[in-house]
Amino acid sequence: MVIIEKAPAKINLGLDIVGKRPDGYHDLSMVMVSVDLNDYITVSEISGSDIIVESNNHKIPLNAKNDVFKAAQLIKNRYGIKSGVKIELEKTIPICAGLGGGSTDAAATIRALNKLWQLELSKEEMIEIGFQVGSDVPYCLGAGCACISGKGEIVECLNTSLSAWVVLVKPDFGVSTRTVFPEIDCETISRVDIDSLKEAVLANDYEQIIAHMGNSLEDITIKRKPFIQKIKDRMMKCGADAALMTGSGPTVFGLCRSEKKADRLVNSMRGFCKEVYKVRIL
């Protein structure tokens, strides 16, 4: 049997750092949406008991450092699976980009192995496994539009028909989330009104969504990589309705209500950065 799962990228319409927990993690409050830039996971049983990960992207590890491998290993250990599995990872989402590539791949792997091995896992069980891989995996298991809180494990789906074009601009460097969070100072970090953003999303109020978008991590990442601010400034100058860094960066997304405006923005940004994508909110 062969199972194929689509793994969509995500963007953060809002990301707020609520505070630091006694265990060293940070409490987060976020609004995320999926966009139609996708990786694909293909899983199939093989003889033996090994986990074999293959990919068209030669820059990513194919061993226990890979989130796809981690997810498969957790499931095998937890449920006593003896059979081997080959996982083919077709990458389109840029790596270390703030687009949730590793997390969405892990989530797709969990969904695929649940079907392949007929485990009939509940949503809660999959979230528990996913959270052990990464804090964005619980959201990526269901994707769509959602409000996320806690350390990332609390996911509230938002019923909205938000429609917009998204232009993604990824500069020629990556940012590791693990290097950004230690620099957070909860006393001075900029805050984002996630409650108001959530209300705007539920009301499908495009103007209010733009008014309340924000990312608490922008100041930290932009201080390290000032070119991100140049991307934001150019996007706004070239007609984006809004421009914001997603996740811990460095990708910046521009929102456009019309495809015509998005096309103009893409043409303007292609001479500025090599990696430019025009996508839609799913």
* Tens digits of residue pLDDT in 51-64: 999 999 999 999 99
Are the beta carbons of 247 and 134 closer than 8 angstroms? no
Is residue 143 marked as binding? no
Q: In angstroms, what is the C-alpha Rg of the chain?
A: 19
Across 106-130, average pLDDT: 97
pLDDT recorded at residue 240: 98
**Is residue 204 domain-shared with residue 263, that is, in the same domain?**
yes
Q: Record the tokens describing residue 214, joined without a space.
A: 């924000």
Q: Where are the beta strands (DSSP E) in 91-229?
A: 145-150, 154-157, 165-170, 214-215
User: Higher pLDDT residue, 145 or 21?
Assistant: 145
Report whether pLDDT(107) > 90. Answer: yes
Coil, strand or helix at 207: helix
Average pLDDT, the chain: 96
Domain boundary, last residue among 112, 132, 157:
157
Q: Give the pLDDT of residue 34.
A: 98
pLDDT of residue 23: 87
**Number of structural domains the chain divides into:** 2
Q: Which of 131, 157, 183 corresponds to the end of one domain?
A: 157
Nearest to 167 by CA among 244, 237, 61, 54: 244
123 and 242: one domain?
A: no
pLDDT digits (tens, 9 = 90+) for 212-263: 999 999 999 999 999 999 999 999 999 999 999 999 999 999 999 999 999 9
**Both 30 and 150 in a single domain?**
yes
Question: Which carries the bigger pLDDT value, residue 66 or residue 25?
Answer: 66
**Residue 271 confidence class, pLDDT cut points 50, 70, 90:** confident
Q: Which of 157, 175, 209 is the last residue of a domain?
A: 157
Kind and range of the H or E element at 37? strand 26-46
Active site (annotated) includes residue 59: no
Range of the domain at 80: 2-157
Q: Amino acid identity, residue 104?
A: T
Strands 145-150 and 51-55: unpaired
Q: Does residue 129 sit in the same domain as residue 182?
A: no
Estimate the crossing angle of helix 67-79 against helix 101-116, to 10 degrees.
30
Annotated catalytic residue, options 16, 39, 105, 136? 136
Q: State yes or no: 99 annotated in a binding site.
A: yes
Q: Is 98 annotated as a binding residue?
A: yes
| pLDDT at site 24 | 82
- In 94-228, DSSP assigns E strands to 145-150, 154-157, 165-170, 214-215
The verdict on whether 123 is a catalytic residue reads: no
User: 144 labelled as ligand-binding?
Assistant: no
The predicted pLDDT at position 238 comes to 96
Q: Are 137 and 75 in contact (CB under 8 A)?
A: no
Q: Is 101 annotated as a binding residue?
A: yes
pLDDT in tens, 150-187: 999 999 999 998 999 999 999 999 999 889 999 999 99
pLDDT-based confidence at residue 17 (cuts at 50, 70, 90): very high
- The one-character DSSP state at 218 is H
DSSP-derived pairing of the beta strands 51-55 and 84-90: parallel
127/201 same-domain check:
no
Q: What are phi and psi of 25, to 5 degrees?
A: -75, 165
Looking at the chain, the whole-number percentage of residues with pLDDT higher than 90 is 94
d(CA 136, CA 44): 25
